[in-house]
Amino acid sequence: MLQIIESSNARAFLNGLSARQQEVSRATEQDVLAILESVKTGGDKALRDYTLRFDKVTLSDFQLPKEACKEAFDGLKPALQRALLKAAENIKSYHEKQHKDGFSLERGNGCTVGQRVRGLSKVGIYVPGGSASYPSSVLMSVIPAKVAGVSEVIMVTPPTAHLNKAVLAAAYIAGVDRILTVGGAQAVAALAYGTESIPQVDKIVGPGNIFVATAKRLLYGTVDIDMVAGPSEICIIADESANERFVAADLLSQAEHDKLASAMLLTTSQTLAAAVQKETARMAAALSRSEIITASLRDFGAIVLCDSLEDCAALANRIAPEHLEICTSEPEKLAESIQNAGAIFLGHYTPEPLGDYMAGPSHTLPTSGSARFFSPLSVDSFLKKTSIISYAKEGLAPLADDIVLLAEEEELTAHANSVSIRFGTDRTEGAI
């Protein structure tokens, strides 16, 4: 059952929330480092060995025939086809608004500065296998990459006897270029380093288990990554205008993800707090993932009573939740006070699952308080920006002395000479 606590006593709960994502053990990290090195040096052979060892599958070719995705889509029930297509349309239309062109700034005298914006060349999408297969995540990751202009999107997923048909259908809809049946830390290593059959990519995105997350973290710098995601979380700010059944249902929608998931209600209403506490207990008992929900609510869930909605907003900013619902009489007004949240859901009819599946913004969001400095996955995640500088002699001339002065202040005499030599002063002449 959800505990009810006063905001003045919330410190211990928040400290536990911050610590809920356990540090990777040294043994796990060493195991992953060994896999990374093995794939880096052994290539495809190492991948086949790990696939046999971990997945109990012998593969001669990792590539899945492209027609398998079209066949998977065709085999879905029409209602599911329509739902996936509608979601894809909303995701695409939203992310198309994010795309920004470069710019050029003319400064006179033949001087131009600007910025060029291009999509990354190759991106890897990691898609978990088994019960953690989410076609929505395929759409939410691949479509922004395609809108950004990524040349090739390569999806990796663990090999199983029957790959998830909805995931393959989502890959078909989103336009995945290649699908490779390899999973785990070894798949991340293959994408980062490249092998005989798997190309090296510029960025890897997508969720995975602790080995996948650790591999991504260790390889950051060799390759870009989206983020190292923690357990899912939802925070709801609600006043007396909220419906306790709606609020309870929304809290449970995230608690069912994982025993480490966190569901929090911040409210000014003791009446609502008591009603939501009762409703979450009733609903949880009837849901398919009741055991997970119960553990999540017990260990990382809470209803926090605050003195004012302003206090609720201040606490939400401190938490910096992945998902923040504002279920108040004036949600837009309160949202102006929110600085830290992955995604904000306004009003009584904007439940978090709307964002997970259909609204359009990518549901890959910063977790564990990282919304203080990270942003959701977006078109920007798949773009690289290059500065462009073009100066004529008459444009460089009036700046030359200032550049030399600054270079000499930093004791970078070669910098200074690079400019002065263009105007008749070679600072290296007679130095030997």
Give the mean pLDDT of the chain. Answer: 95
Q: Which pLDDT belongs to residue 160?
A: 84
| Higher-confidence position of 100 and 256 | 256
| Higher-confidence position of 161 and 311 | 311
Q: Please determine, for residue 19, whether its predicted confidence score (pLDDT) is greater than 80.
A: no
Q: Which pLDDT belongs to residue 15?
A: 84
CATH class of 26-227: alpha beta
Residue 226 DSSP code: S
Structure confidence by residue, pLDDT tens digits, 307-349? 999 999 999 999 999 999 999 999 999 999 999 999 999 999 9
Q: Which pLDDT belongs to residue 99?
A: 86
Domain boundaries along the sequence of the chain:
26-227, 230-373, 392-423
Q: Please determine, for residue 431, whether its predicted confidence score (pLDDT) is greater than 80.
A: no
Q: Which pLDDT belongs to residue 100?
A: 86
| Consecutive H or E run containing 45 | helix 26-50
Q: Please determine, for residue 185, whether its predicted confidence score (pLDDT) is greater than 80.
A: yes
Q: Please determine, for residue 50, whether its predicted confidence score (pLDDT) is greater than 70.
A: yes
Structure confidence by residue, pLDDT tens digits, 364-384? 999 999 999 999 999 999 999
| Higher-confidence position of 66 and 69 | 69
- Taking Cα atoms as reference points, which of 59, 60, 54, 56 lies closest to residue 31? 54
Can you tell me whether residue 60 is helix, strand or coil?
A: coil
Angle formed by the axes of helices 67-74 and 165-174, nearest 10°: 110
Give catalytic status of residue 322 as yes or no.
yes
**Topology alike, domains 26-227 and 230-373:** yes
Q: Which pLDDT belongs to residue 66?
A: 86
Q: Distance of CA 284 to CAs 1, 291, 327, 366, 372, Å?
A: 9, 8, 21, 26, 31
DSSP 127-150: ---GGG--HHHHHHHHHHHHHHT-
Q: Which pLDDT belongs to residue 213?
A: 92
Give the pTM. Answer: 0.93
Q: Please determine, for residue 16, whether its predicted confidence score (pLDDT) is greater than 90.
A: no
Token reading at 18: 């911050």
Q: Which pLDDT belongs to residue 102?
A: 94
Give catalytic status of residue 323 as yes or no.
yes
| Beta-ladder partners of 389 | 113
230-373 carries CATH number 3.40.50.300: no
Among 323, 325, 352, 363, which one carries the catalytic annotation? Answer: 323
Q: Which pLDDT belongs to residue 1?
A: 81
48-62, 128-142, 301-315: range with highest mean pLDDT: 301-315
Among 322, 325, 352, 363, which one carries the catalytic annotation? Answer: 322
* Section 264-287 average pLDDT: 97
Q: Please determine, for residue 217, whether its predicted confidence score (pLDDT) is greater than 90.
A: yes
- Taking Cα atoms as reference points, which of 185, 135, 181, 131 lies closest to residue 156? 181
Tell me the pLDDT band of 132, cut-offs 50, 70 and 90: low
| CA dist., res. 46 & res. 80, Å (int) | 38
Beta-carbon-side half-sphere exposure of residue 36 (alpha carbons within 13 Å):
21
| Beta-ladder partners of 323 | 234, 343
Q: Please determine, for residue 175, whether its predicted confidence score (pLDDT) is greater than 70.
A: yes
| Higher-confidence position of 17 and 380 | 380
